[in-house]
Structure 1
Amino acid sequence: MVGWASRVMETELSGVLPLRSAHSQGVAARAVEVGRTLGEDADLLVAAATLHDVGYAPRLAVTGFHPLDGARFLRDAHGADERLVRLVANHSFALLEAEERGLREELAAEFPLLEEPLLVDALVYCDMTTTPDGHHTTAEERIAEIVGRYGADSVVGRFIRRAAPEIFAAVQRVEAALAAQPR
């Protein structure tokens, strides 16, 4: 699954959005580190991390909401694993952004949130502790960077400020799980 995810991400993002590709690669590298907390779901996390932003690819942007566009592409064009598709659709509290865009009901009906808290939190952690160019950062710095890039009053700015407490809580839960792992 991971090799396939890497090929899809490279095909869809590398040539047209190299910075987004670098971010996705960095998020995937974080997922490899975090995967030890997930046991058999480690590869699923890495695949979701690799593909979480595939919906930004211009040819896939139907609604302009990348989690929904990416999940639909993975489901419809690739018949991807349902859990993978649902993780991509709902990554990093996407339901809150979907609400800002008037797409919450559509996203929730089509791609229900997984009831696997550690797996969902792990993807949030990987995304929200990786810079746009793929390097490590803190969740606080990442939120500030997103607000600065999009503007506080933009759809993304409003969403990320609303999601920040949930993002910080997810990051803390994953950090606790990592600290509890034997070295």
Structure 2
Amino acid sequence: MTTVEGAYKLAEGLLRESLPRRWAHTQGVAACARELAPLVGGGAEGLEMAAVLHDIGYAPPLVDTGFHPLDGARHLQALGTMSGLVVRLVANHSFALLEAEERGLRTELAAEFPLPGDLLLVDALVYCDMTTTPDGGRTTSEERVGEILGRYGADSIVGRFIRRAAPEIHASVGRVRAAADDLGVVL
């Protein structure tokens, strides 16, 4: 199995040169995942690995369908060194099923990579991705959704998806914050 260090090497090799801003975002998402380690307990390593790998499907050599969660997860599955949980988290990050539906790929994504059963890990990855700016800084989920809409446009596939997903994104972020408060974890 790939280690956290191996996941970082893989993601860096795919993103740092060709997509430096995406690499900065990825590093910020992974840093957030490390902060959530006390919240997710035994799932901390898997969360961090999924966080650092969640956007590898944007890497030019991996683009197949043009839908980065599916392209990234397929690559990880083909490598055969990643846990099924990590691959499924990558495939389903940040309500990818809703975007897959916009792209006509929902059935394919759901069949190949079912949503993981550990919903705290799913929410934690949403939290990390949707509270991290494209440059790797911290933000709110409201600002992040607004930034995505501004970048892609409201009528684009991504724009339609993010508008549909926004209530779910904000709810995930709220659940993570509430769980952190209950445990005394400072976010």
Give the TM-score normalised by the residue count of structure 2: 0.96
Q: Which residue of 1 aligns with 2:28?
A: 26
Q: Which residue of 2 aligns with 1:124?
A: 126
- Offset at residue 180 of structure 1 (A): 1.2
Q: Which amino acid aligns with 1:76?
A: A
Distance 2:139 2:116 in 1: 26
Q: Which residue of 1 aligns with 2:184?
A: 182
What do the CA deviations read for 1:58-113 (whole angstroms, capped 9, x no partner)? 11000000000000001102431100000000000000000000000000000000
Identity percentage of aligned residues: 64
What do the CA deviations read for 1:11-43 (whole angstroms, capped 9, x no partner)? 000010000000000000000111211111101
Correspondences of 1:3-152 after superposition (within 5 Å): 3-152=5-154
In the alignment of these two chains, the number of paired residues is: 183
Q: Which amino acid aligns with 2:75?
A: F
Q: In angstroms, what is the RMSD of aligned CA positions?
A: 0.8
Give 5+ residue unaligned stretches, structure 1: none
Distance 2:165 2:79 in 1: 30
Give 5+ residue unaligned stretches, structure 2: none
**Matching residue within 151, 155, 158 for 1:156:** 158
Distance 1:132 1:2 in 2: 22
Distance 1:49 1:97 in 2: 19
Q: Which amino acid aligns with 1:138?
A: T
Q: Which amino acid aligns with 1:22?
A: A
Q: Which amino acid aligns with 2:103?
A: R
User: Which stretches of structure 1, 4 residues or longer, exceed 3 Å deviation after superposition?
Assistant: none
Q: Which amino acid aligns with 2:15?
A: L
1:38 alignment partner, SS class:
helix
- Offset at residue 166 of structure 1 (A): 0.3
